[in-house]
Amino acid sequence: MVIARHPQTIYSGMLSGLVAGQYLLDDIEIDVRSLAGLVDATLLIDEVVGIDLAGKRVLCRAGPPVAFDLLSLDIGSHASPVDLTASNYTPFVARPADEFLRGFEVLRRRVAARGHQGRVVTVGAGAGGVELLLAIERRLRREAARDGADATGLTFTLVSASNDILPGFPSRFRQHVRALLAQRGIALRSAARVMAASQHGLAIAGQAAVQADDVLWATEATASGWLARTGLLLDEEGFVRVEGTLRSVGRDDVFAAGDTASFDPRPLMKSGVFAVRAGPLLAHNLRASLLGEPLKTFQPQHRALYILSTGDGRAIGTRAGFTVSGRWVWQCKSWIDRRFMARHRGLDSPTLAGGAPGP
């Protein structure tokens, strides 16, 4: 049985392309129902809110508990804002992707209603936040131009708690993206830790406040809070600690993979590259575990390729310390992403030349 919150799930690699207007929603949605059907799995649409390990039951928000012999947790991660309960203000979040898309539609309407004016601020300068902000900037400016509006009052700011953007990326890559932000008129506030938010903006520790009309929260991945009440062994950030076999440390009936897992053998970035690569090994180990056969060990790659779309039909890529950029990089990314989606739909691979056009 597969339990999922929605019958469709959004492929994050193409999310910024949707925002920039390069893809339609249908291009980036994976149909969980038909995937489950392919392997004769029952799909239960519900949200898991807890696990009763002793009773071997998964607790769901809407329906009754679901009994299990073997459980695999692949529930991803969230972007969690600072505690804003006092301010009665809710920024929109970069993940999960379905929540982001709802927030993005609200943002578009609000900006249009203000005559294409407003101060749009993104908190979090990791790859997801930067990519989304670049796409949002392109899209909102294009919509202002379409409506003949004077968009001089439409401003964009990236707020980062770290001293530089894109922690963990090579310095040439970061330099390239910083130059691009400046070229697009996107202000950068680094070493800026947000302490509170309200409808007027963000209070920053030891610095002047950042004025904002709309805030996208795109800080690092955080774990689902209910995991802390399960009794599973978690790392200090609340993610499920797994052995090399992706089995939860200390349990033989629970596995975890993707963002929700904390890989004990070595730290891994919360990246779709690792989530996707873990899939076949996870499937093998779940089957082997039921049959009492030996489990395999996940060998995550050391040199992953990262490509960041810049929302204008171009992209910047890096692998093994090398950095490349341009339209052709976006076309490569688009081909890789469309091939991934085609595989999940049982379609032929797309051609490289058939990449969706940049705006």
Ligand X SMILES: Cc1cc2nc3c(=O)[nH]c(=O)nc-3n(C[C@H](O)[C@H](O)[C@H](O)COP(=O)(O)OP(=O)(O)OC[C@H]3O[C@@H](n4cnc5c(N)ncnc54)[C@H](O)[C@@H]3O)c2cc1C
Binding residues (CB under 6 A) for ligand X: these are 3-6, 9, 12-13, 15-16, 47-48, 74-76, 94-96, 128, 131-132, 258-260, 270-273, 275
* C-beta separation of 124 from 94 below 8 A: yes
Q: Least distance (Å) from ligand X to the CB of residue 114?
A: 25
With CA atoms as reference, report the closest residue to 84 among 161, 197, 201. Answer: 197
Cβ 326 to ligand X shortest distance, Å: 17
Nearer to ligand X, 13 or 81 (CB): 13
Please say whether the beta carbons of 20 and 135 come within 8 A.
Answer: yes
Q: Is 158 helix (H, G, I), strand (E, B) or coil?
A: strand
Tally the residues of the chain: 359
Nearer to ligand X, 128 or 201 (CB): 128
Q: Which is nearer to ligand X, 13 or 201 (CB)?
A: 13
Cα–Cα distance measured from residue 254 to residue 106, given in angstroms and rounded to the nearest whole number: 38
- With CA atoms as reference, report the closest residue to 243 among 264, 269, 260: 264
| Nearer CB in complex with ligand X: 63/113 | 63
CB of 255 to ligand X, least distance (A): 13
* Least gap, CB of 61 to ligand X (angstroms): 8
Q: Give the single-character DSSP code of 212.
A: -
**CB of 3 or CB of 202, closer to ligand X:** 3
| Between 53 and 196, CB nearer to ligand X | 53
Own/partner contacts of 162-165, CB < 8 Å, gap of 24 or more, are 162/125, 162/190, 162/191, 163/190, 163/191, 164/125, 164/190, 165/125, 165/130, 165/190
State the minimum distance, in angstroms, from the CB of residue 136 to ligand X.
11
Identify which of residues 2 and 196 has a Cβ nearer to ligand X in the complex: 2
Q: Largest Cα–Cα distance of the chain, in whole Å?
A: 67
Strand boundaries in 112-250, DSSP class E: 118-123, 154-159, 186-189, 194-198, 201-204, 210-211, 214-217, 221-222, 240-242
Region class of 292: left (phi > 0), else alpha (psi between -120 and 50), else beta: left
Please say which residue, 247 or 270, places its beta carbon nearer to ligand X. 270
Residue among 31 and 143 whose Cβ is closer to ligand X: 31
Return all residues near 82 (Cβ < 8 A) that are at least 6 apart. 194, 195, 196, 197
| Shortest-Cβ-distance residue relative to ligand X | 258
Q: What span, in angstroms and rounded, lies between the C-alpha atoms of 202 and 205?
A: 10
CB of 296 to ligand X, least distance (A): 19
54, 42 Cβ separation under 8 angstroms = no
Q: Residue 73 Cβ, how far from ligand X at the closest point, in Å?
A: 9
Minimum distance of ligand X from residue 132's CB (angstroms): 5
Minimum gap (Å) between residue 79 Cβ and ligand X: 7
